[in-house]
Amino acid sequence: MNSSRSAPLQNAASWAASKPPLLRFLTACHADFSTENGGNVADYIPELGKADPDHFGISLVTLDGHVYEVGDSRIPFTIQSVSKPFVFALALDTLGAARVESEIGVEPSGDPFNSIRLNADNHPFNPMVNAGAIACSGLIHQAKGDGAFEYIRQALGRFAGRELDVDEAVYASESTTGDRNRAIGYLLRNNTVIKGDVGAVIDVYFRQCSILVTARDIAVMAATLANRGINPVSGEQVMTPYAISRALSVMTSSGMYDYAGEWIYRVGIPAKSGVGGGILAALPARLGLGSYSPRLDSHGNSVRGIKVCEALSLHYDLHMLNRSDDARNSIIADYNIGKSASRRSRRPHEQKILAAHHQDVRIIELVGTLTFSNVDYISRRLAAGPRPHFIIFDLRRVAAMTRAGARLLAEGFHELAAFNVTVILSGIKHSSPQWEPLGEWVKGTSNLRNYHLLDDAIEWAEDQIVYRHGGAIDSVEVTELSEQALLAGLTAEELARLASLGAIRTYQPGQQIIAAAQPAVSLFFLRSGVVHVRLHGGMRLATLTAGMAFGEMALLETHRSADVFADGPATALEVPLRDFERFREAHPRTGERIMRNLAQLLADRLIVANTKVNLLTEN
């Protein structure tokens, strides 16, 4: 008894503990690259040399505010040069683009980040090198005076979604050893780029670089850049889209210093590194990534951080020049068969089984373009609910699927297979263009089925639930009219009298029994087999099995409104309408009972139709 009760709880716990595909990928990256011991901790600033070289954290933030974290993602480190694009954006919003762009260039320098060199106009090459960053601090100092640093700190905090502190020890160490940056400051002062107190400006810059962040913080900051300046966690519009797009532009061309060209060629995601060990990568309209590992290469970039970015971009094909669509809201409906069953009419014992196990079949109807971000959202929404036995993805409204989205979706299918969940696709054919990227990744997936029509997919899943719980579907013969819902409440004598009015008919597979627009001259009570009702030349309206009536609308209409075909061998009792009407006239109370039953059947169909409509408005 106890074990039978605990099993569902154990299953639910294991389902909840399973990792979404993207988190599994990041975890694998962390495990693979943790053994990479190349590079050295920065020691030209003594305090930075005290960092633990084994620290390694990864965080990724989606544009709907979901945060993935792996490893040492909450270990604080100083932001250093990762602050540069944010302070540049702040300067643009504070002083205006014309002023900032007249003082600081946007061309790559090809030099190391701390080069003491200006461009042909005696201005910094771009805001990502130290000269440009110090110029940005100088512009903000001109505007805000002694409050310049606090102004910067608060702005960076809005990007991160929380208050950020300063590492005073690193600040003191930077100030003590920062003569090269002071030299850059005086060079800028000599060329009138800095017009105020060089010492005060450099102090702002040192404090700015000493702000403490985590891999999670810079992932949120990156996602804010990717989200046109809206922090996806806090919802705050931190900066204007103009400032954000310009910051991303210089990150693209110059964010990784003299490695920038190689970076954009191989990774293709705007990024910024810092000698504290952080790398920030922001893929517009997609995601923000933050990593921390203090082992640096000869360019001053985190060795492990670069490997993470390269792996993510390559694995999911995230190079920014391969983008195709910005759609995010891809779920149009999400329900189980308790809310919307198939069009197959079910006998009472089947209804009872399906009612008890309605959560075992979940249907997710998708729309638009399935991108990396959309599929990640779908996978997390799926994991948030109870684990079903069957999941149906309806793709008939899906116009396209990116390779990143297709691969992430396929990885989700493989994850479901590990939990013995069967995935059913509907709405596509293997020859459809949108199937191509997905088909490449789902080859050999044992838990995958495909139906062109959603209703067929739901019906098949329902059948499996019925079979699993001891029900029988097709091999049933119902000879007694007492089991007919239309005739509920009639006495045995009345049923026998009604049966004597009809004749048993036999139908072959595919045979048309009723034709739309023809006069309605009889009604039928199915004894064996399966028939389906459909609009003339169009979609299926219902599937009926033994023990159910069809053609009953003849009691209300003079002509048929739909076609009826036999799915396989079938038999039915056909009762001529004229004889049925005489029976009703001879037994008025019985006739009234039959019409009430018909009204109830029609009301039940209307409820089902309304439920299907409501599903579209709920999502």
Mind listing the pLDDT tens digit for each residue in 442-472? 776 678 888 888 888 998 899 899 888 877 6
Of the chain, the percentage scoring pLDDT greater than 90 comes to 53
Find how far residue 550's CA is from the centre of its chain: 43
Does the annotation place 265 within a ligand binding site? no
Q: How many residues does the chain have?
A: 619
Amino acid at 81: S
Domain 481-614 in this protein, CATH class: mainly beta
Given a cut of 80, is residue 277 above it in pLDDT? Answer: yes
Q: Which residues, listed in sequence order, are joined to residue 368 by a DSSP beta bridge?
A: 398
How does pLDDT run across 373-430, given as a tens digit for each residue?
889 989 888 888 788 999 999 998 887 788 888 889 988 888 888 888 999 999 876 5
Residue 3 to residues 9, 15, 389, Cα–Cα distance (Å): 10, 18, 20
Sheet harboring 530-534: ordered strands across? Answer: 512-514, 563-566, 530-534, 540-545
Residue with tokens 């005060």: 200
Instruction: Tell me the C-alpha distance between 56 and 309, whole Å.
Output: 14
Token representation of residue 53: 């070289």
- Distance (Å) of CA 136 to CA 82, 97, 173, 604: 14, 12, 22, 69
Tell me: the pLDDT tens digits for 569-593?
999 999 999 998 888 888 888 888 8
pLDDT of residue 2: 45
Tokens 């809206």 map to which residue? 230
Q: d(Cα 468, Cα 228) in Å, to the nearest integer? A: 51
Distance CA 368, CA 401 (A): 9
- pLDDT at position 10 is 54
Does the domain made of 38-318 have the CATH classification 1.10.1740.110? no
**Percent of the chain's residues with pLDDT above 70:** 91
Instruction: Tell me: is residue 81 an annotated ligand-binding position.
Output: yes
Position 604 scores a pLDDT of 72
pLDDT of residue 5: 43
pLDDT score recorded for residue 21: 93
pLDDT bucket at 601, cuts 50 / 70 / 90:
confident
- CATH class for the domain made up of 331-468: alpha beta
The answer to whether the annotation marks 130 as part of a ligand binding site is yes
Buried b (16+ CB within 10 A) or exposed e, 306-316: bbbbbbbbeeb
489-533 pLDDT per residue, tens? 888 888 888 889 999 999 999 999 999 889 999 999 998 888 888
The encoded tokens of residue 217 equal 């913080």
Describe the crossing of helices 130-144 and 179-190 by its angle, rounded to 10 degrees. Answer: 70
- Tens digit of each residue's pLDDT (9 = 90 or more) over 212-267: 999 999 999 999 999 999 999 999 999 999 999 999 999 999 999 788 889 999 99
The one-letter amino acid at 114? N
Look at residue 12 in the predicted model and tell me its pLDDT: 53
Map out the domains of the chain as residue ranges: 38-318, 331-468, 481-614
The reply, when asked if residue 181 is annotated as ligand binding, is yes
Mean predicted lDDT score pLDDT of the chain: 88
Token representation of residue 392: 């149906």
Give 144 or 599, the one with higher predicted confidence.
144
Convert the pLDDT of each residue in 498-507 to its tens digit: 889 999 999 9
Q: 42, 299 in Cβ contact below 8 A?
A: no
